Amino acid sequence: MKSSAVKDKVLETATRLFYGQGYNLTGINQVIDEAGVARGSLYYNFESKTDLLLTYLDKCSRFWFEEIDKFLLPIESPREKLLGLFDFEVLFQERLNFGGCPFIKITSEVGSQYESVSAEVKQFKLTFKQYISDLVKDAHIQGFLSDEELTDMIFFLLDGVDVSSTIFSSTEQILKARKIVNKLL
């Protein structure tokens, strides 16, 4: 198997395992066995389990932004794109069977144990917040909240409904948050 195919197979396996059963419960031997690769092949492509985790988080980040861009692309109105963030969250949670945000899950598992992992999670969240901020600025909302306050509120609501929809296995909280934001817009 070519090195890129091995790397893809290991990353695909690690993605499934890290998301499904957690990072701490996933041993490197399990990744090797389920990916069907040699130990040396894994370590040729990834220096360590932490390196594999960082690659997984990068993959999750790229996937998230590619998917949200595709979802929002047909929506012309910046205001409707802001509401579309909640519609995308519904789709995302349903698609992942209410498994939750991979970044929140990893943070709850490893916390600040690995500085590089914490930095990757923070970068994802900051990039997403900037994404929201750009949509808010494009929408030119003239309300009682500043653009920064509206950005913060939408960001906090999306993070909150991500957690609550996972806990309750329901999109109800996401739809309620969407309704609140719609009233504010």
Q: What is the pTM of this model?
A: 0.91
Catalogue all structural domains in the chain, each as residue range(s) with its CATH number: 1-46 (1.10.10.60), 48-184 (1.10.357.10)
Distance CA(133)–CA(155), nearest Å, equals 9
- Summarised one tens digit per residue, pLDDT across range 8-48 is 999 999 999 999 999 999 999 999 999 999 999 999 999 99
Which DSSP state fits 23? Answer: S
Mean of pLDDT values over 136-155:
93
What integer pLDDT is reported at residue 40 of this predicted model? Answer: 92
Estimate to the nearest angstrom the gap between the alpha carbon of 131 and the chain centroid: 13
What integer pLDDT is reported at residue 112 of this predicted model? Answer: 78
Mean of pLDDT values over 166-175:
95
Packing angle, helices 102-110 and 49-72, rounded to 10? 150
Residue 67, pLDDT above cutoff 60: yes
Provide Rg for the chain, Cα atoms: 18
CB contact set of 87 (below 8 Å; sequence gap of 6+): 71, 178
- Mean model confidence pLDDT for the chain: 94
- Summarised one tens digit per residue, pLDDT across range 98-140 is 999 999 999 999 877 889 999 999 999 999 999 999 999 999 9
CB contact set of 171 (below 8 Å; sequence gap of 6+): 90, 93, 94, 165
Packing angle, helices 172-184 and 147-168, rounded to 10? 160
Q: What is the DSSP string of 86-143?
A: HHHHHHHHHHTTT---HHHHHHHHHTTSSHHHHHHHHHHHHHHHHHHHHHHHHHT--S
Distance CA(106)–CA(119), nearest Å, equals 12
What integer pLDDT is reported at residue 166 of this predicted model? Answer: 92
What integer pLDDT is reported at residue 1 of this predicted model? Answer: 57
What integer pLDDT is reported at residue 2 of this predicted model? Answer: 67
What integer pLDDT is reported at residue 143 of this predicted model? Answer: 82
Mean of pLDDT values over 72-82:
96
Closest CA to 49 of 21, 26, 22: 26
